[in-house]
Structure 1
Amino acid sequence: MYKRLPPLNSLKSFESAARHLSFTKAADELFVTQAAVSHQIKLLEDFLGIELFKRKNRALELTEFGKAYFVDINKILRKLNEATERLLALKDDLHLSISVPQTFGLQWLVPHLSEFNQLHPEIEVRLKGVDQDEGLLNKEIDLAIYYGKGDWQNLQVDCLGKENLLILASPELLAQKPVHGKQDLKQHTLLHTHTRDNWRIMSDYLKLEDLNIQQGPLFSHTFMALQAASHGQGIALANRLIALQEIEQGTLQVVLPTNLPDPKSFYVVNHLDRLDDEQIQAFRHWIINAIKKEEYE
């Protein structure tokens, strides 16, 4: 394939000489001698078996073949230059593309991201929020946060910590309708995320067989359920890591002490062929340690 390609230097010399209609100006542009340009043009004409220029005393003209060839070669060299510039820009553009479930991004990563930026100002982070618990991880995404059970194959996988499911409500709601024990949950609206599974698991854990888990609105994202709970619309269940912001701000509080592990956890994942990528490993190291630090605070 591409067996009959002329030398690149000859093409560059031809394009410049044809554009200026001058070997001298082409030599100045290419930082070579006029003789070198003339030599390259001769090599190209011999390669093609076609005369490209008419040499008339001090004037230089393109032949009809030369005019047609110049139009194509000019476009090709311009595109080649543009492609090279784009590639070099990518090489110099140190950025890290991260796919993250929207709730984790809103509730934890974005509020903490300035810490990573201060540690690594040379790395530009680009976040892509996704609706799935297991988001995008392709050649355009360097690293991802997954929410699941950690059983993904052919990936570097690190758990960001095992957390409990917390029962959460606003202080205002609890002031109006206090919860002194698990039986009081029956008097409240239950807020659900994705499915009603977590409230089913919690009712089994609390041994509340008559808790009506079929009542209450269903939200597509945990951050929506937390917002609803913050506005006194009911009681929500959430992974402790996701609810830290509201708990610290005092808009939500733990309703009853429990020790029920979340069936899923958050993980940082990337492809195995990126183990030596310094940017990826820098982010992994930071987020693992940042979350671990919060566990002891």
Structure 2
Amino acid sequence: MATRLPPVHALSAFEAAARFSSFAVAAEELCITPSALSHRIRLLEEHLCERVFVREGRSVTLTEFGRRYLDVVRAALRTLSDFPLPNKVTQNQMKVKVTVPPTFARYMFMPRLADFSEQHPDIEIEVYLFVPLYDLSLSESDVEVRFGAGEYPNLVTKKLFVEPSFAVASPGYLKTIPAIKTPADLRHAKLLRSALEPWQPWFEVAGLDFPEPSNGLRIDDLGLLLEAVKHGHGVGLTRQHFAEDMIRTGEVVRLFDTQLATPPHAYHLVHEAQPTLRPEVEIFINWMQSTFQKMEASPAA
């Protein structure tokens, strides 16, 4: 019968936290966030059905069980680390883990990432995806880009940029409904719904006393929302940098000059509050802010 062993990454987190008596310092050594390290410790304690640390504010001390278990863990880790690996090349690669929403990654981040790589070829970037408004806990990444209201307690939050939202539709769909000449004519259209792009703030700017749509197709991904518009499912709200290629090719058309200058949701750069950041993480954060804050000065087409 196979014996279920504790995860190795949880054991290394336990050993480092015990050595420093600090989750924050241990996390820095392991190049993960303090919350990620705390999660690994919880996994280990759940596996063992025992507490290994007593948490007292920001300091941690080993329990009696934890002290005995630490000797076993250190011996096991030492055995693994001392085993000779003749083909392994030791590398000291600087690395930044960044988590981004899918649409931001596709339309905005990846087209610009080559610029960072050219400026900092010695820093390796690892990209992970998460779903806006759903995956709300900070992952093991160093940095996250979040699309939302920017209210993230206990995290350092920096707004990347604000971009107006406006209504778009496909030419094919517009042929199937009465002429849309003014915002009020949207009463004849199917309005695509999204928690990421609510209609109510845009209605107010347009001077419409319309309620938020309560039925019809709902899509909580900005890229899929735009694809739904392109394929004729209805009228949706979007942003210039997402839609500019489809507008240029005529796959979708912008309706009206009306736009919401400051939508309720925007892109924010988020990371754990730490006394110091690793140099490569700080370099990446500065590049992100410099790159994307330039966009606010760019005129909308």
TM-score, shorter chain, exceeding 0.5: yes
**Structure 1 unmatched ranges of 5 or more:** 1-73
The within-5 A match list for 1:28-39 is: none
Alpha-carbon distance between aligned partners in 1 of 2:213 and 2:76, rounded to the nearest angstrom: 67
Change in Cα spacing, 1:258 to 1:203, as seen in structure 2 (3 Å) is: same
Change in Cα spacing, 1:81 to 1:274, as seen in structure 2 (3 Å) is: farther
The within-5 A match list for 1:103-182 is: 103-133=103-133, 135-138=136-139, 140-174=140-174, 178-182=179-183
The one-letter code sitting in structure 1 at the alignment partner of 2:150 is G
Find the counterpart in structure 1 of residue 100 from structure 2. Answer: 100
Instruction: Give the drift of 1:171.
Output: 4.0
Find the counterpart in structure 2 of residue 234 from structure 1. Answer: 234
Find the counterpart in structure 1 of residue 252 from structure 2. Answer: 252
Alpha-carbon distance between aligned partners in 2 of 1:293 and 1:225, rounded to the nearest angstrom: 26
Alpha-carbon distance between aligned partners in 1 of 2:79 and 2:228, rounded to the nearest angstrom: 56
The one-letter code sitting in structure 2 at the alignment partner of 1:128 is Y
Instruction: Give the drift of 1:283.
Output: 1.9
Indicate whether 1:283 and 2:284 are aligned: yes
Task: Flag the structure with higher helix content.
Answer: 1
The answer to whether the 8 Å contact 1:99/1:135 transfers is no
Indicate whether 1:188 and 2:181 are aligned: no
The one-letter code sitting in structure 1 at the alignment partner of 2:235 is I
**Structure 2 unmatched ranges of 5 or more:** 1-74
The answer to whether the 8 Å contact 2:163/2:296 transfers is no
Instruction: Give the drift of 1:129.
Output: 0.6
The answer to whether the 8 Å contact 1:191/1:235 transfers is yes
Change in Cα spacing, 1:99 to 1:136, as seen in structure 2 (3 Å) is: farther
Alpha-carbon distance between aligned partners in 1 of 2:158 and 2:141, rounded to the nearest angstrom: 17
Instruction: Give the drift of 1:291.
Output: 1.9
The residue matched to 1:269 in structure 2 has which SS? strand
The answer to whether the 8 Å contact 1:108/1:245 transfers is no
Instruction: Give the drift of 1:262.
Output: 0.7
CA-based RMSD of the aligned residues comes to 3.3
The within-5 A match list for 1:70-89 is: 78-82=79-83, 89=90
Alpha-carbon distance between aligned partners in 2 of 1:255 and 1:92, rounded to the nearest angstrom: 53
> Percent identity between the aligned chains?
22
Change in Cα spacing, 1:245 to 1:285, as seen in structure 2 (3 Å) is: farther
Change in Cα spacing, 1:171 to 1:104, as seen in structure 2 (3 Å) is: same
